[in-house]
Amino acid sequence: METVPIREIERRIREFQGKLAEKEVDIAIIAQNVDLYYFTGSCQSGYLVVPSRGEPIYLVNKSFKRARKESPLPDIRHLLKFRTLPQILEEEIPNIEKLGLELDVLPTSFYLRFQNMFPQAEIIDISGAIRELRLIKSPYEIDIFRKGAEISRQMLEAVPRFLKEGKTEVEFAAELECFMRKRGHQGGIRLRQFNQEVFYGHVMSGENLTYPSFFDSPTGGPGLSPAYPQGPGWKKIGRDEIVIVDYVVAYQGYCVDCTRFYSLGSVPSLLKEAHAAALTIQEEIMKTAGPGTICSDIYRQACQIAEDFGLRDHFMGYGTDQATFVAHGVGLELDELPVMADRQDYPLQTGMVFALEPKMVIPGVGVAGVENTILVTEQGLEKITILPEEIIPV
């Protein structure tokens, strides 16, 4: 099985230690599975202890054997009981004054236990530092995105083989899921934000295109019940309907996000215009943005173009369910940095990867637009997902 190269792990740890030193944090304890994977190459359960200088220790509860096979870190130990953690650290790093934890994802009960374990330590949130590090993708990571993008391309090109009038949305979706899975889709897609979850993504048709949901996205979808209220429903796909395929590929951990629209018959002219507006937004951003462009400026630019088309009220959703971004970072999680939204006042940098998804939501009519996963290079923006962007007639 392919494991993360040692040079990747060493660089990530070193850069993280630089950030810890800056913040005068003595040690960080990483607990979340995705962050564990990023820094160790394994997400076997346990804790990665990173001192601001010196060697990190990966304390693994289960499976210790597997962690040693997956992670190139030299110091991996078997952690039998969580409560022995302070003892183990006492020997290595005495007098911890400032302890960093992932406070954005760590459940409160764990936080309170850490507080009890290290009563003398000030606990600070190091999730910002981790998200900043993960924001810039290495050539090794970009190579994995390209492999995932290939699965996405194959699936989207195969859509006409599966999309048939009279099928339920979930039947059609199941076939696309099966297609991707056989080619290496890992299944689970991870999100960092509390309560956010997604199963592959959004496949809907006709009136279900504008079905709203909790999910922080322009589209929602009914899902099969209010218990999992998102994505394809029981509705049959009908004649003259638009179908969205917004399915994420998660390959070797990394998320590739791409959307295309298909039509079974005629397309309402309002949706044609909305589609043209969305493509214009994408085109303008592709032309003007690159390293140094401020993320919030990109969002403002997108909103302005939507406004020029008379579609500002329909851009990225409608009414109280309107989303307030035009792009989101992708990586080991689907909701990474950078985000193109208000108040995101940092510049694009080479190595960032994001999903740019200008979409228009017109209640009673449908949804149109496009989504591509995009890499920031020294030259500008490069699409990782490449295939036709028109509404594809089936």
Q: Which is nearer to a copy of itself, 214 or 346 (CB)?
A: 214
Stretch that binds a copy of itself, among 12-20, 89-97, 149-157, 247-255 (CB under 8 A): 247-255
Stretch that binds a copy of itself, among 179-187, 267-275, 293-301, 341-349 (CB under 8 A): 179-187
CB of 128 to a copy of itself, least distance (A): 11
Sheet containing 372-377, strands listed edge to edge, beginning at the edge strand earlier in sequence: 336-341, 325-329, 353-356, 372-377, 380-383
Kindly tell me the sign of the dihedral angle through the C-alpha atoms of 352, 56, 63, 6: positive
> For residue 152, what is the enclosing H or E element?
helix 139-162
Stretch that binds a copy of itself, among 82-90, 92-100, 182-190, 338-346 (CB under 8 A): 182-190
List binders of a copy of itself among 18-37 (CB under 8 A). Answer: 31-33, 37
**If binding means CB under 8 A, how many residues of this protein chain bind a copy of itself?**
77
Per CB under 8 A, 44 contacts a copy of itself: yes
Give the residue among 9, 334, 333 at the shortest CA–CA distance from 140: 9
Structural contact between residues 87 and 62, judged by C-beta atoms closer than 8 angstroms? no
CB of 168 to a copy of itself, least distance (A): 8
Provide the 3-class DSSP secondary structure of residue 16. Answer: helix
List binders of a copy of itself among 84-143 (CB under 8 A). Answer: 101, 103-112, 125
Binding mask 157-176 for a copy of itself (x = CB under 8 A): -----------x-xx-xxx-
Residues sharing a CB contact under 8 Å with residue 59, sequence separation 6 or more, in sequence order: 46, 47, 48, 49, 77, 78, 79, 85, 88
Stretch that binds a copy of itself, among 22-30, 49-57, 210-218, 302-310 (CB under 8 A): 210-218
Provide the 3-class DSSP secondary structure of residue 354. Answer: strand
List binders of a copy of itself among 55-84 (CB under 8 A). Answer: 62-66, 70, 78
Residues sharing a CB contact under 8 Å with residue 22, sequence separation 6 or more, in sequence order: none
Give the residue among 203, 164, 158, 163 at the shortest CA–CA distance from 182: 158
List binders of a copy of itself among 264-293 (CB under 8 A). Answer: none
Binding mask 306-335 for a copy of itself (x = CB under 8 A): -------------xxx----------x---
- The residue within the footprint of a copy of itself, chosen from 23, 88, 207, 229 (CB under 8 A), is 229
Amino acid at 84: T
